Structure 1
Amino acid sequence: MSLWRQRVIDLAGVTAISVAVWLYAAAQTLQTRVIAFEVEFDSGDPLRLTLSAPGPLHVSAEITGSRQAVIRASESLSGRTIRLLSGADGIPAQSGEHDVLLKDVLSISPLVAPLGVDIATVTPAVVRITIAPKDATTLPR
Structure 2
Amino acid sequence: MDLSIGEVAERSGLSVHALRFYEREGLFANPVRRLSNGRRVYHEEDLEWLAICTKLRSSGMSLAMIRQYIDLVRHGPGNEPGRLELLRRHVAQVEAQIRGLQETLHVMRGKVRLYEEHVIRGEADRLWNPSHRDAAGADTGDVCRPPEGT
TM, length-normalised to structure 2: 0.27
If asked which structure has higher relative contact order (CA below 8 Å, sep 6+), I would say 1
Structure showing greater Rg: 2
Say which structure is richer in helix.
Answer: 2
Normalised TM-score (structure 1): 0.28
The structure in which a higher percent of residues are strand is 1
